[in-house]
């Protein structure tokens, strides 16, 4: 612990207890070991290591937080949806802990203000918000144990965001939904992905989505996955009446 404190002693966030106070406001209780939380907001670009050469960044805490979120959400759904079978519960949990939703949680708490990085914040990908939210959950578990972790998730995730009735109609992936419909209706589909670089120096990917050899949607985004999802969403709204037809 002394090593961690030494590493973080020059952190602007930690000076004069500001970081401690702000983290306390976010999590709702006093931390025992502030170093866990400092680690939860340390980006790998800092290249920090402990005395054994192990990396000191939020990625391992992100893994732990993901597991804790899944466990707490699973227990909540098991209790609140007694008629739901395994498939239903799995699908509902996926909607709650989707990357999109975790990013929303991180943005709402403005967690990015705590990140210590050598990379400018404007260069971070969108998933940074969800990643550090998961890392924060992992830090809470290590610092305070399961009960405090469960209370934090209940307060910050379940109460304000988990409405089972609304989640039942929430689409996780338009691409998955569209592919499922095409397979059910025996329609052929194809995603044609190509580089579509703009004039701003940012790399983009273009996508043309064809169904039964006819282009039905086009999209452009900073990753192939995002471009395919955006094209799928546009195709979904074009075929929504047919897709939702019982």
Kindly report the backbone phi and psi dihedral angles of residue 232, in degrees, each rounded to the nearest multiple of 5, phi listed first: -65, -40
Angle of the 224-238 helix axis to the 174-184 helix axis, nearest 10 = 60
Numbered residues of the known binding site for Mg(2+):
62, 131, 134
Kindly tell me the burial class for residue 36, based on how many C-beta atoms sit within 10 Å of its own C-beta (0-12, 13-18, 19 or more): buried
Instruction: Give the whole-angstrom CA distance, residue 100 versus residue 155.
Output: 19
Structure tokens at 223: 């990753």
Q: How far, CA to CA in Å, does 219 sit from each of 3, 109, 176, 232, 237? A: 49, 30, 17, 9, 14
Numbered residues of the known binding site:
62, 131, 134
Q: Catalytic residues, which ones?
A: 66, 134
Per-residue DSSP letter, 173: -
Instruction: Give the whole-angstrom CA distance, residue 195 versus residue 55.
Output: 35
Instruction: Give the whole-angstrom CA distance, residue 209 versus residue 239.
Output: 13
């Amino acid at each position: 612990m002394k090593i961690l404190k030494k590493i973080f002693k020059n952190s602007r966030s930690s000076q004069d207890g500001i970081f401690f106070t702000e983290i306390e406001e976010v999590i709702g209780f006093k931390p025992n070991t502030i170093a866990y939380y400092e680690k939860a907001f340390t980006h790998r670009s800092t290249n920090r290591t402990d005395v054994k050469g192990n990396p000191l960044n939020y990625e391992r805490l992100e893994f732990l937080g993901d597991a804790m979120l899944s466990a707490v959400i699973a227990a909540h759904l098991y209790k609140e949806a007694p008629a739901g079978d395994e498939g239903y519960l799995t699908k509902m949990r996926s909607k709650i802990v989707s990357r999109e939703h975790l990013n929303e949680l991180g943005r709402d708490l403005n967690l990015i203000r705590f990140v210590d990085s050598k990379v400018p914040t404007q260069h971070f990908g969108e998933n940074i918000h969800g990643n550090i939210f998961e890392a924060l959950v992992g830090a809470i578990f290590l610092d305070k144990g399961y009960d405090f972790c469960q209370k934090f998730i209940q307060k910050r995730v379940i109460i304000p965001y988990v409405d089972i009735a609304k989640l039942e109609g929430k689409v996780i992936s338009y691409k998955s939904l569209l592919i499922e419909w095409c397979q059910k209706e025996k329609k052929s589909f194809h995603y044609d992905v190509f580089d579509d670089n703009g004039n701003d120096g940012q790399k983009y990917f273009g996508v043309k989505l064809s169904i039964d050899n006819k282009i039905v949607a086009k999209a452009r985004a900073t990753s192939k996955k995002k471009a395919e999802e955006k094209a799928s969403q546009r195709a979904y709204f074009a075929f929504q009446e047919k897709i939702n037809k019982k």
